[in-house]
Structure 1
């Protein structure tokens, strides 16, 4: 389970926001995130706000979860009126541990409360072993049009280190089934740099992703978080810590293989076969849109106010049953806060950011170091080179 939530200012019992925050809600887009905190088992590297049945305890139930989320949605619809919802993303946890009909109920509730925009992107995450063709077809009937499957690796030994439960071939097969069920967009997630992973293992994972016919790939370097089982194993010396040099080699391998297969990067860790295949929900996050996060531990942002819900599902349900906002705390972002976050996110995008939004001395240094595209720079844009993508965090530190 994730660590303690940060402190902040109290959230009003009715969840109300300052007029300054709601005045222009949705002007730059509006998204809804739905957190489903249930998992069948815990992966060794995971520190998300998720719970297995043994960890959940009393007072919270999968069976009643959709109704509880709809209670928060009812509160939310009294607080903001965004006009329409551009994207919805169900994450977790494993959203597909709920029935497809329950996920559909929540989606219908969002449509009833705020209205889904024509052509809205509706995504759910899924573990490959948690879905089959029948389940996927039911999701599609409810309006879901994008799915993100947690593949992580095609190597059985790597999956064991990560404590993943699906077999090596299940994720690509689930992606094929999603296409058969009518999903317009399918993503497969990869993790690289796991201890024991070889270059051949990762090459096989990339081949499996490409052969599955997906139109989007996310690939992330393994991050070892304090408090996880994997961190404990590393401290005991059972497995080695990840290597930055290996992670860089894996990233270059991903760029080469995916580029040859027709994918183009649009964010440092994300590739798509076309602009239409890019994850619109994440792009809204990265470009300063408003969003409401439903569910325990979910974060929201509207008009410069950010807040986060209580973590445990039973506390979340109890608050809502009492007619009280599940918000744990919130903060009002300053103009400087919002500027820094905007730079941090936009620098990672293929489209980059205008040079007049960043520190000029830092940008000149990054250019001299070969981290920025000189043609874009001459046109007043900061855009990363391939080497710059490997060192994106350093570029961000220099230009903020």
Structure 2
């Protein structure tokens, strides 16, 4: 029976000794099935325990067809197994999972938002709320209520019930399992069906901190941490802040305003650089147009968007201009073609010839084309093909 499993009987138990039922292998991974176990298998949003069996590392624990498989680094080859779980990992999972119960119930109580899914990550956990919009005031209210429940150190009860007995409890959501049903209860606050491991009181969660939120389609994902992870996040963020303060040479409380000033300066510089680049491009276009009606040039390692601007600028300077440009960027050989308002050459014909030569993709209009492909053909060779296509 489920309730006889050692990790349910005592979630604080870390070691045990039992008989080995059988050993097997799945996809090259050896595993052992035991008479009973302290190792919690992955399920209900909570990751599996890790530890050792007879000194051999347990890397994964899964329940398959009613049996719990302990995947080990090498076969046990034993009739009896002595096991020990990684308590730090188990206790962390107990804190995060219980924190999720509390936070979920807090959102229902303070904002009327139910949780539709839960993920217990290695560093940060998350719940998905069944709503598209959560405002900061709702986050603050839920976090405050959750920490009130934690600080009150309320008892956490577990009960095994039948489906017929469920009507006696104000469950937060419908229970989907059949047969043995396990409830995790924080009296007068949260009643929920759950198969995870939990401490005996809410105080053991320590504290809970919401780190942020993001919209996921029609849901809202809330990222949070509990217990020791709060201190880890605080230490990490303090380290980042300390480094930023050192780089900015400002007091800690002025960090945000100093960053805003830097961003404003950066945006101003980017605008100035863009304007200068446009002026340089105009000068280059004038130089190209001074050479006559047919403007041909090849380049290396220049963005195709820059050549598009250059071709348009050069074509605008002479109504009879025909502008043919090529560029090699790594393995790509690209081209641009443009004409002035009074020129009658077909740029589509230019593109057709260039694309046939490069085996690439591109297109445009009678007045402007672009494209290219991956080919060893030289830039000047492609220029000649483009010019020849319009009798130049």
Whether these two folds match at TM > 0.5 is: no
The higher-RCO structure (CA 8 Å, 6+ apart) is 1
Give TM-score, length-normalised by structure 2: 0.19
Structure with more of its chain in strand, by fraction: 2
